[in-house]
Structure 1
Amino acid sequence: MKRGTANGVHGLRMLEGFEAMKMEPELQCVKALLSPASGIVDSHSLMLSLVGEAENHGTTFSNNTSVIGGHLEGNCMNVYISESKNLRNWDGVSPLQPELTLIPKLVVNSAGLSAPALAKRFIGLDNVFIPPAYYARGCYFSLANTKVAPFKHLIYPIPEDGGLGVHVTLDLDGQIKFGPDVEWIDGIDDTLSFLNRFDYSVNANRAERFYPEIRKYYPDLRDGSLQPSYAGIRPKLSGPRQSPIDFVIQGDDTHGVPGLVNLFGIESPGLTSSMAIAEYVAAKFLR
Structure 2
Amino acid sequence: MTDFAIIIPARFASTRYPGKPLVALRGATGVAKTLIRRSWECATAVPGSVGVWVATDDARIADEVTGFGGQVVMTSPDCANGTERCADAIDKLGEIAPVVVNLQGDAPLSPSDLVPRLVARLEEDREAVMATPAVRCSASLYAHLAADAANGRVGGTTVVFNRAQHALYFSKRLIPYLPGQTDAEAGDVHLHLGMYAYRLPALREYREAETSRLEVLEGLEQLRFLDLGLRVSALAIEALDWDAIELNNPSDVAAMERILASRGIE
**Quick check: TM above 0.5?**
no
- Structure number having the greater helix percentage: 2
TM-score by length of 1: 0.27
TM-score by length of 2: 0.28
Higher RCO, Cα 8 Å, sep 6+: 2
- Computing the radius of gyration over CA atoms, which structure comes out larger, 1 or 2? 1
